[in-house]
Amino acid sequence: MRFLFCILSLLVALNLFGKEINVTYPNCPFNLQLIVMRKKGLLEKEFVKDGIKIKFHDIMNGPKQIKAAATGKVDICGSINTTSIIIAAGQNIKLHIVRAVCNSTGTLALMTTNPNIKSVNDLQGKKVACPSKCSLHQLLLEALVKNNMTIKDINYIPLSLPETYKAMFADKVDAAVLNAVETLKAKKLGARVLTTGTGLIRAKLVVAVTESFGKNHPDWAKRYIKVQDEAMAFIKNHKHEALKIAAKDLGISYQDAEWLYNNTKLINSLSPEDIATLKDDIDFLYQQKLTPRKLNILSKDAIIDRYLEKIVKEQISPSAVSYN
């Protein structure tokens, strides 16, 4: 009996009974719903009656979230950009989108501290730092294409977001692609914007669950969605308090938190425009050789193209899409 008790205790400790939900916590660019959910303990309150623990993982960028999901470290990506999801799908790593979080396009910017660089065209042969395989990477590629350039025309240096920011101010690179808090800080220190994401990319951040989690715990996924909706309602009814929570969490002023809020569109579902640009993203990423294959169109008259067959029909739940 004592031996059986020890085995059961070990199984619980190893979470083999599935009584723990692991969630990534990227509080940047400005995932206000997620910040409120964590700081107000909303997920814990929802699941405590079932003895289910919530464990947050401070994993910021998309590719690292993908890796954590693929290796079973996390069950839910609390906020991840769709560019990373598309690239992961090309590597046969499937995530299921269950909710939208925000459109953060207004906080993305290609910036420089080099006084000799006046435009994107001036980046020819220059060192440009940027995180890889995410919306910021796509923004850089889109900006280059718009100016009749390719990634081969610059000296592209893939770095994490904090490293990208530091490299620019250490004069190790000539330009950098930043977002949210880093964009704000860079502006205050005199960095200039060469281009923003507006008109180049529609950055879409979503909640995504692993295939196994979606299959084994669909009810838990639905309850997560319910809690995020509660956080959205809290933000709507208590905006000032929500922004104070975010400012403290991000280590910024209330005014900066308000700027991020005003330049980030919080959403619960992907709109028809979001879906349309998602298809464009799939095309573009294939053209840029960031995905190994192109998902061909099912038919010219199809309501849902094969572009989105795996992503919309299989990976996006109805609650994540708005058809209005």
Cβ atoms within 10 Å, residue 206: 27
Q: How far is CA 75 from CA 52, 112, 113, 321, in A?
A: 13, 37, 40, 21
Q: Is the pLDDT of residue 313 over 90?
A: no
User: Per residue in 244-279, pLDDT tens?
Assistant: 999 999 999 999 999 999 999 999 999 989 988 998
Start-end of H helices in 159-217: 161-169, 180-188, 211-216
**Domain assignment of residue 13, yes or no:** no
Angstrom distances, CA of residue 119 to CA of 71, 170, 191, 308:
41, 21, 13, 35
Residue 11 forms part of a structural domain = no
**Would 228 be classed as within a structural domain?**
yes
Cα distance between residue 324 and residue 315, in whole Å? 20
In this structure, the answer to whether residues 225 and 277 fall within a common structural domain is yes
The length of the chain in residues reads 324
Q: What is the mean pLDDT of residues 68-94?
A: 94
Please indicate, yes or no, if residue 229 is contained in any of the structural domains: yes
Residue at which a domain ends, from 164, 196, 228: 196
What's the CATH code of the domain at 95? 3.40.190.10
Is 61 inside any structural domain?
yes
- Has residue 12 got a pLDDT over 50? no
Residues 69-83 have a mean pLDDT of: 97
User: What is the CA angle 270-200-139, rounded to 5?
Assistant: 90
**Which domain, by its residues, includes 130?**
106-196
Burial zone of 215 (CB within 10 Å; 0-12 exposed, 13-18 middle, 19+ buried)? exposed
| Residue 165, in any domain of the structure | yes
- For residues 99 and 110, membership in a common domain is answered with no
Please name every residue paired with 128 in a beta bridge, in sequence order, or none if there are none.
156, 175
> Do 87 and 112 sit in the same domain of this protein?
no
110 and 179, same domain (yes or no)? yes
Pairing mode of beta strands 204-210, 175-179: unpaired
What integer is the mean pLDDT of 287-301? 70
Does residue 5 carry a pLDDT above 60?
no
Per-residue pLDDT band at 297 (split at 50, 70, 90): very low
pLDDT score of 27 more than 90:
no
Q: Which residue has the higher pLDDT, 174 or 13?
A: 174
* Statement to judge: residues 210 and 305 lie in one domain: yes
Q: pLDDT higher for 316 or 183? A: 183
Instruction: State the pLDDT at residue 28.
Output: 82
Query: Would residue 251 count as lying in a domain?
Result: yes
Could you give phi then psi for residue 64, rounded to 5 degrees?
Answer: -70, -35
Q: Are residues 141 and 92 in the same domain?
A: no
Provide the domain count of the chain.
2
CA of 301: how far to CAs of 277, 297, 304, 311, in Å? 18, 10, 9, 19
pLDDT in tens, 91-147: 888 899 999 999 999 999 999 999 999 999 999 999 999 999 999 999 999 999 999
210 and 98, same structural domain?
Answer: yes
In a domain, 5, yes or no: no
For residues 174 and 211, membership in a common domain is answered with no
Q: Identify whether residues 277 and 164 lie together within a single domain.
A: no
* AA letter at 203: A
Domain boundary among 165, 196, 227: 196
pLDDT of residue 113: 97
pLDDT greater than 70 at residue 295: no
For residue 157, give the 3-state DSSP assignment: strand
- What would the DSSP string read from start to end of 279-313? HHHHHHHHHTTSSSS----S-TT-SS-GGGIIIII
pTM: 0.89
Looking at the structure, do residues 89 and 208 belong to the same domain, yes or no? yes
Last residue of a domain, one of 161, 196, 231: 196
Q: Please check the confidence at residue 284 and state whether its pLDDT lies above 90.
A: yes
Q: Are residues 218 and 290 in the same domain?
A: yes
Residue 181 has pLDDT above 90, yes or no: yes
Residue 317: its pLDDT value, please? 82
Residues 190 and 297 in one domain: no
Dmax (CA) for the chain in angstroms is 76
User: Which amino acid is present at 31?
Assistant: N
